[in-house]
Amino acid sequence: MRYAETGYNLEIDLSRGSIERVETDPRETELYLGGLGTNAKILWDRVPPEVEPFSPDNLLIFSTGLLCGTPAPGANRTIVSTISPQTLLMAYSMMGGFWAPELKFAGYDKVIIRGKSPNLVYLWINNDKVEIRDASHLQGKGAIEAAELIKQEINEPKAHVASIGLAGENRVAFASIEQGRSSASRLGVGAVMGDKGLKAIAVRGTKDVNVARPDELLELCNEVLEYIKVRAENPIQGVPPILAGLGSPQEMAVHDEKWHTENFAWGNARHRRKDFWNEEVEKAWTETLENVRERFISCYNCPMKCGATISVPELSVYMMKCYSKLTYTMASMTDLDFGFKIAQLATEHGVDAFSAPQTMAFAVELYEAGILTDEDMPGFPSDAEERFFWLLDRIVRREGIGDILADGTYWAAERIGKGAEEYAHNNIKKHEQLPLKLGMLNPVYFLMYCTGEKANITQIEGQFPQAPFPSREEREEFVKDWIQVPDEKLKQYFVDWELRGDNSIPYYPPIQASCEIVDWMEKMHYIDDATGICAGLSSFPLKPPYHIHNLPRVISSATGIDIDEAELWEITKRNRTLVRAINVRRGMRRQDEKPPEDHWRKRFPELEAKLLDEYYKFKGWNNQGIPTKEILDELDLDYVSEDFLQRGILTDHEGSHYKETSSEKKQK
């Protein structure tokens, strides 16, 4: 008997119209756990680097995390993996809600989709009965509207539906997959779904998920729930309110807009508005939020209420969470009321709430600079809010200038030319980032931004405070009950971290400490991405209930696979190295690992180069960021090292040589 997982994947070939239930190898679970780990193994095995994102041979994988469907609190994440149309590298995007547990209850760990349907279709997974159904009547429908229509059509109100909107249908490079109260938004996974002619996947399951040692697991789960109560009564001191608690940042509950609006960038990720916030703005924005918020909501089997349903006049009720309530407001330099209105429409269209507003702000800047003209944008409004509605409509339909902007700022700038490249300034690996404008370079954040495969800072950071506390006494108080650290020396790193002015050199945390801190935070995220645990209870917040001391026991009691801390670290290292190997095989090199030029006001090129050098060594990679044969073989990834040697990516134990890739050919 398989525990925690079902042991079966659904294989769907939309070109042939075939459906197959495939038994999986339990050894793969022992090596990669599940979720992102096993997704990466499938992509490595079955999607060669020559395959383009919009090829029938590209796979779109919807995976449950290993612990989804078990009693583990917060284990509800769906991990969607494919090849990104924006970065041309591996994409993996997470969504919460109820979809992943429901798929487990239907009897499957993953849905693996290949090929392309000649007509728009949707999948209906009802336990053992799986159908490919016509969706031509849903063409052009919004993502949330389509989901509701499907539930009516199949007469199953308890089904959970992951769907795309118009943006996905038209292969907008930053299209999302929406799922009621959550979405898989980053890296264009919705565009790949649309390219395959797949409008939605509806799922309903009524089966059990077995666990190996239920009494032990329930005891551990109760400990997690008790600790959540303790943290609720004892928020972290010395950090912004938005970061003091557990869960995803409580944007819909905590009025902390001042912190975001003064530290994040406005417009096309260029401007910090230090003089923006005042009592009048605070009162107006507080009233706006209180008036539109209906109720707080949670994801499956989670006590946290990170999201909320909101009701905007003349628009339908929909869910909102995290920083996306501000992204459109700050991009358009307007107010919170506008942000709520356009975000609802953007959700129906199915676009990423970070890339879409930045792309629209990018277009506005180009117009104001004279690079785009009335000839390029006939009828472009003068009002700031109307401009964004105008641009959103054209982007999701790929009409006029929208057809160019729909590829994201990097590729759009390349097509527009005339200096537009200077305005596409907030990309890492050709992908729009969180709009930050910071002072002096932070070594830890530099490494996270540059080397992260997720290409999304919020899926890399956590665990370690973002900045030092003002006094040593406050730092010493913080570390007293910091049981989550995997090594006591991390406490000392934080105690010794002092505030420094913009004129000082950021030599602290030291390079070695920075490598260890980033490695710890990264490993925690890779555990979550394999198990399906929400980062809001594990890898993202300070002092979370899940950490390296109890995660091995939770995983062992659920799966029956006995692992300790060292073995769990090794699995996460294997998963992380395999994801990097996929991207290296697709052409990613050191030259791609750099933050936006003006991300920090004060930069230190020599220090940055040394940070990358040392971090690569720390991870067992060569100076191009390529995993060495030694580390690959050590992690049971010898099949990767053999492939690298055959392709000439590795020429010996440490070396590498350069080969042109499909990514670079596209740029030419």
652 shares a domain with 582? yes
- The conformation of residue 11, written as its DSSP 8-state character, comes to E
Residue 228 lies in a domain: no
2 assigned to some structural domain: no
- 23 and 164, same domain (yes or no): yes
- Asked if residue 598 is part of any domain, the answer here is yes
| Residue pair 107/118 in contact by the 8 Å Cβ criterion | no
Is the pLDDT at 472 greater than 90? The verdict is yes
Number of domains observed in the structure of the chain = 3
Query: Which CATH number does the domain housing residue 338 bear?
Result: 1.10.569.10
Cα–Cα separations (whole angstroms), residue 658 to 48, 146, 366, 453, 600: 18, 46, 35, 20, 30
424 and 559: one domain?
no
Confidence tier at 496 by pLDDT (50, 70, 90): very high
- Quick one: 409 and 523 in the same domain? no
Parallel/antiparallel/unpaired status of strands 8-13 and 18-23? antiparallel
| Residue where a domain terminates, one of 432, 467, 489 | 432
- Average pLDDT score, the chain: 92
User: 24-28, 233-237, 564-568, 574-578: which range is least confident on average?
Assistant: 233-237
**pLDDT band at 668; cut points 50, 70, 90:** very low
The CATH number for 150's domain is 3.60.9.10
pLDDT for residue 659 is more than 60: no
* DSSP-derived secondary structure for 257-299: HHHHHHHBPBTTTTB--TT---HHHHHHHHHHHHHHEEEEE--
Query: Which of 3-12, 178-187, 417-426 shows the lowest per-residue confidence on average (mean pLDDT)?
Result: 178-187
In this structure, is residue 230 part of a structural domain? Answer: no
In a domain? residue 361:
yes
Task: Find the CATH number of the domain harbouring 604.
Answer: 1.10.599.10
Residue 164, judged by CB atoms within 10 A of its CB (0-12, 13-18, 19+), counts as buried
E strand or H helix at 202? strand 198-204
pLDDT tens sequence across 21-45: 999 999 999 999 999 999 999 999 9
Are both 428 and 575 inside the same structural domain? Answer: no
Q: Are 613 and 550 contained in the same domain?
A: yes
Residues 485 and 526 in one domain: yes
Amino acid letter for position 634 = E
Percent of the chain with pLDDT over 90: 78
Tell me, yes or no, whether 334 lies in a domain: yes
Structural domain for 264, as ranges: 240-432
Q: Name which of 316-325, 367-376, 629-638 the model is least confident about.
A: 316-325
Position 664 confidence tier, pLDDT thresholds 50, 70, 90: very low
Domain boundary among 432, 455, 487: 432
The answer to which of 306-310, 346-350, 519-523 has the lowest mean pLDDT is 306-310
CA 278 to chain centre: 33
CA count, 13 A, side-chain hemisphere, 365: 25
Same domain as 456, residue 377: no
Same domain, 538 and 453: yes
* Residue 654 clears pLDDT 90, i.e. is over it: no
Among 164-168, 274-278, 281-285, the range with the most confident prediction by mean pLDDT is: 164-168
Q: Is residue 217 part of a domain?
A: no
> What would the pLDDT profile of 201-224 be if each residue is shown by its tens digit?
999 999 999 999 999 999 999 999
Are residues 479 and 355 part of one domain?
no
Q: Domain ends where: 400, 432, 464?
A: 432
Containing H/E element for 311?
A: strand 307-311
Min mean pLDDT across 119-128, 186-195, 430-439, 524-533 is at: 430-439
Q: Is pLDDT of 616 > 60?
A: yes
Low-confidence winner among 240-244, 393-397, 470-474, 578-582 (lowest mean pLDDT): 240-244
pLDDT (0 to 100) of residue 250: 76
Whether residues 413 and 495 fall in one domain: no
Cα–Cα distance measured from residue 180 to residue 161, given in angstroms and rounded to the nearest whole number: 8
Same domain for 491 and 636, yes or no, is yes
Q: Does some domain include residue 229? A: no
